[in-house]
Amino acid sequence: MPRIVGLESSSFDPERYRQAFGDNHGDDITTDGLLSSVSTIREATTDDLRNALRASPLFVKTGAK
Amino acid sequence: MISEIDWERFLFAVLELVEHQLGCPDTLLLDRDIVREIAERARETVGSYNKESPNVPKIAGHIAFWVRKLKPVSFEQHATEKFLAVNELVSLYAALAFCDQYHERRSQHHRAVIYRLPPRVVVDWATTMRFHSHSPHSTALIFEILMGSVLPEME
């Protein structure tokens, strides 16, 4: 015969369960805001980053001998 | 909220950024149909949080996941140099641009985290996104941590 297990007075609350991912404070994101962030990231690009990317084994030169 | 974003315009700007970072101007192609697919998939999986307005790092994680999964970026035929993890790099920087919109965490410290990721971390991140398994939710968690308050203030 099967058994059902569980505490007699479980505190499981379906309403709270549905809110498991709590942070609901999204901001208003606009395309222009995103473009502005991309532009700022571009200005912060350093030669160190470019050198690291180009030194990666995943950076390949086609037709190179 | 994210349904109002002009994805093609945004990702085109990220491609320009990545061309600049790689030192490979005028070499990248963006597939318009896949961009539309990314927008649809991201809208659906972000919806899994069942939140009216999920915070920005969550959206960033889902965008990063779908860009690296669906791979809308390729190189022109004439390109003589290629970065094989270009979709992964685009996905990372698209997500970081989203994180920069996180007004609640938009201190100089958090913006510095976005703009000054160590080059080794950027390369490792793009590489692991190419080779290993990442879910939309685990990717979102990475951005939650990145934008969280666990790092010391850097002024």
Nearest to A26 among B56, B100, B126 (CB): B56
Q: Residue holding tokens 């390729």?
A: B74
Q: Which band of pLDDT confidence, cut at 50, 70 and 90, is reported for residue A20? A: low
Comparing alpha-carbon positions, the chain A residue that sits nearest to B116 is: A44
- For residue B152, the 8-state DSSP code is P
| Residue A42 resides in a domain | yes
What is the enclosing helix (H) or strand (E) of B29? strand B28-30
Mean pLDDT of B129-151: 84
Q: Note the pLDDT tens digit of each residue in B25-46.
A: 999 999 999 999 999 998 888 8
Q: Note the pLDDT tens digit of each residue in B102-127.
A: 766 667 777 777 778 899 999 999 99
How many domains would you assign to chain A? Answer: 1
Spell out the alpha helix ranges (H) of B23-85: 32-46, 56-70
Report the C-alpha gap between B130 and B103 in whole angstroms: 30
Q: For residue B103, list chain A residues with Cβ-Cβ distance below 8 A.
A: 27
Range of B80's domain? Answer: 2-146
Report the C-alpha gap between A11 and A29 in whole angstroms: 37
The dihedral sign for the CA sequence B75, B93, A41, B13: positive
Comparing alpha-carbon positions, the chain A residue that sits nearest to B80 is: A62
Read off the pTM: 0.86
**Strand pairing of B81-83 and A59-61?**
antiparallel
- In this structure, the number of other CB atoms found within 10 A of the CB of residue B154 comes to 10
| Residue A45 resides in a domain | yes
Q: Check residue B23 and give its pLDDT.
A: 95
Q: Check residue B104 and give its pLDDT.
A: 64
Report the C-alpha gap between B91 and B14 in whole angstroms: 9
> What would you report as the CA-atom Rg of chain A, rounded to the nearest whole angstrom?
26
Q: Check residue B45 and give its pLDDT.
A: 87
Read out DSSP for B83-111? ETTHHHHHHHHHHHHHHTT-GGG-SHHHH
Please report the ipTM that was assigned to this predicted complex: 0.87
- How much of chain A is helix, strand and coil, in % rounded to 5? 40, 5, 55
Q: Residue holding tokens 């140099």?
A: B81
How many domains would you assign to chain B? Answer: 1
Subunit contact A31:B56, Cβ cutoff 8 A: no
| Residue A47 resides in a domain | yes
What is the enclosing helix (H) or strand (E) of A61? strand A59-61
Q: Residue holding tokens 């208003």?
A: A28
| Residue B154 resides in a domain | no
Range of A53's domain? Answer: 30-57
Subunit contact B82:A62, Cβ cutoff 8 A: yes
| Residue B24 resides in a domain | yes
Q: CA distances (Å), B44 to each of A24, B16, B24, B87, in order?
A: 17, 27, 34, 21
| Residue A2 resides in a domain | no
Q: Which band of pLDDT confidence, cut at 50, 70 and 90, is reported for residue B101? A: confident
